[in-house]
Amino acid sequence: MDQMIEDIRTLVTCESPSDDLAAVAASADVVAQLGAERLGSTPEYVVIDGRTHLRWQFGDGPNRALVVGHHDTVWPLGSLATHPFVVKDGILRGPGCFDMKTGLVMAFHAIAALPDRSGVTLLITGDEELGSPSSRALIEAEAAGCVAALVLEASAEGALKLERKGVSNYEVRITGRASHAGLEPELGVNASIEAAHQVLAISALGDPETGTTVTPTKLVSGTTRNTVPAAASFLVDGRARTVAEQLRVDEAMQSLAPVLPEAEIEVIGGPNRPPFERKMAEDLFQQASRIALQLGQPALRAISVGGASDGNFTAGIGTPTLDGLGAVGGGAHAADEHVVVAEIAPRTALLTALMTELLDQS
């Protein structure tokens, strides 16, 4: 356990904000060195669009079990000054400790404990917090044909994640026409008013019964107080539990039409992550639950969440996927980010036992 704590310290104290390519590259070097020490082999560097991902492949045969994690975080450089790494009263704190650097250390130690690693691939990406724009194809390629993908994202208060909503990202751009707001407002086409119509129409696309949410978020419009706005734009966050719902929302978004005469609308974007449907995790959850009881651990709990992860990609291509196998704690992306130290070793043992069984049955 002391070694695991020190390993977590090593990763947490190397800051790795997703939008800083140099910081992510430096973090990849630290992760690669630590992984090499624990696993006895160096990873392959996969750099795509300047973003650094790491891949360990064990054995000469095909991939059988894919372990997925990420080393980038949402915390900007300098966060350690206000949120230092600390372990006190059984709680570990530090930027990115929960999401998800503790999970990476758990992966290293769990794989190192395997009696036979042949068929295991460990993939650690560097852009998950951005939506995995450069690593999606890599994740899907590594997951193809595997009996299981095990995602080391943090748990939800100890519960494994059996379902994640699919995510769609949009930008709506509106073009109007400027005019003087006092002298000739009637000559303008007010982009702010058109944006208001569209925001209301888009927010109505959500469906509480199915869990679909469509949320207009950041909005920008206008130039000065006395000018009819000639342009406006806003962002939209869409979440859906099923592919059918995700496609329904996308069709509606792409079909938006202006309300004001002479206003123009452009919709950019679409589905980013497919839904991670519960059916892709049920069997693995039952297997992990049985193993946990055999290890003398408390019964595992399951939960459905609105947030997405790289597990959406593995499940989306049809690979059985179990998510939330990482740290137990809370406060992801927040000042209270923390990990419960006493849960690290049992969860790591569970991961080792689950991989061992998956490799044996494959």
> How far apart, in whole angstroms, are the C-alpha atoms of residue 245 and residue 241?
7
CA 109, 273, 241, 280 dihedral sign is negative
Angle at 115 between CA 111 and CA 121, to 5 degrees: 40
What distance lies between CA 137 and its chain's CA centroid?
Answer: 15
The helix or strand, by DSSP H or E, that contains position 238, with its residue range, turns out to be strand 231-240
Q: What does the block give as tokens for 107?
A: 């992966």
CB 168 within 8 A of CB 240: yes
Measure the CA–CA gap between 151 and 160, rounded to whole angstroms.
10
Q: What is the largest CA-CA distance in the chain?
A: 80
User: What does the block give as tokens for 327?
Assistant: 């740290």
Instruction: Name the DSSP letter for residue 179.
Output: -
Tally Cβ neighbours within 10 Å of residue 239: 23
The answer to whether 283 touches 320, Cβ cutoff 8 Å, is yes
Residue type at 9 in one-letter notation: R
Task: Determine the 3-state secondary structure of 49 from DSSP.
Answer: coil
- Report the 3 state secondary structure along 116-134: CCCCEEEEEECCHHHCCCC
Tally of CB atoms within 10 A around 341: 21
- The pair of structure tokens assigned to 68 is 């997925």
> Which residues are catalytic, by number?
72, 128
